[in-house]
Copies of this chain bind each other. A is one copy, B any other.
Amino acid sequence: MENLQIDQHISRQFNADLEHLREHLLEMGGLVEEQVADAVRAIETADSGLAEKVLRTEEDIDSLEVSLDEECTLVLARRQPAASDLRLVLMVTKANRDLERMGDEADKIARMAIALNDAGGAISPRGFVELRHIANSVQALVNQALDAFARYDVQTAMKVVKGDTLVDRDYGSAMRELMTYMMEDPRSITRVMNIIWALRSLERIGDHARNIAEHVIYLVHAMDVRHTSVGEIEAQLEEHGHKPS
């Protein structure tokens, strides 16, 4: 409810420039989401062709980042936005960078898919269960983060913040598993290291999804919740009239 009110409140102040920024960020978000999904599928199915596609598309994302950033600078220079409009422009600049970094990490995962394929990846499945599990969680976080931005929805943003904590925990236990695999079977070290790097990239993507979620909270409530624990954020949100989720 309160989210809808905020949405309408901000919408009234939007002019075409600001609406474009918003659309372009969501467009870029959609592309990055696809890159992450393709990279994960490429590594799961040892599909080098799909991985190559991810590497090619990475350049498009880089260009989108630069042009969206230029657009933000122009809006700041020409329209000198204030209050929530200014927060939106700054938020777009920051989320833009997070999305580009997610794209970078998808690129790294695609490279690991190619390396795994070269090493006959599909033969020994150790580590794939962990990879699939974390990939699913992280993809859900990316999707929710973009959704939270599209609808200025603080509840969904909080889901991402909490979800990222769980991903970090799962990542830690997956790492311990994979270290054990390497010690048990040193011939698997090269292969397992590829999975470790892919997992690391997924964990980073989760962090960037959390950043975007934090930007949404900043946008809606002008609250900077970086470096703040889940409990503290919830306490601050309650002061803004949010029910604990």
Contact = CB atoms under 8 A, between A and B. Distances in A.
Interface stretch (A31-39, A73-81, A139-147, A150-158): A73-81
A48 interface: no
A93 B73 CA distance: 13
10 contacts: A59-B227, A65-B227, A70-B224, A73-B87, A179-B189, A179-B193, A182-B182, A182-B189, A186-B186, A200-B200
A81 B183 CA distance: 58
A226 interface: yes
Interface residues of A, number: 31
Main secondary structure of the interface of A (DSSP, over half): helix
A87 B200 CA distance: 33
Given A73-B90, A86-B77, A227 B62 contact: yes
Contact of A226 (B66, B93, B200, B227): B66
Nearest to A188: B183
Interface of A: 59, 62-63, 65-66, 69-70, 73, 76-77, 80, 82-83, 86-87, 90, 93-94, 97, 179, 182-183, 186-187, 189-190, 193, 200, 224, 226-227
Contact of A76 (B86, B97, B224): B86
Contact of A183 (B69, B87, B186): B186
A31 to B, nearest CB: 15
A196 B82 CA distance: 46
Nearest to A200: B200
Contacts of A66: 224, 226-227
A186 B190 contact: no
Given A76-B86, A183-B186, 17 more contacts: A59-B227, A65-B226, A65-B227, A66-B224, A66-B226, A66-B227, A77-B82, A94-B97, A97-B97, A179-B190, A182-B182, A182-B186, A182-B189, A183-B189, A186-B186, A186-B189, A189-B189
Nearest to A82: B77
A94 B65 CA distance: 14
B62 A226 contact: yes
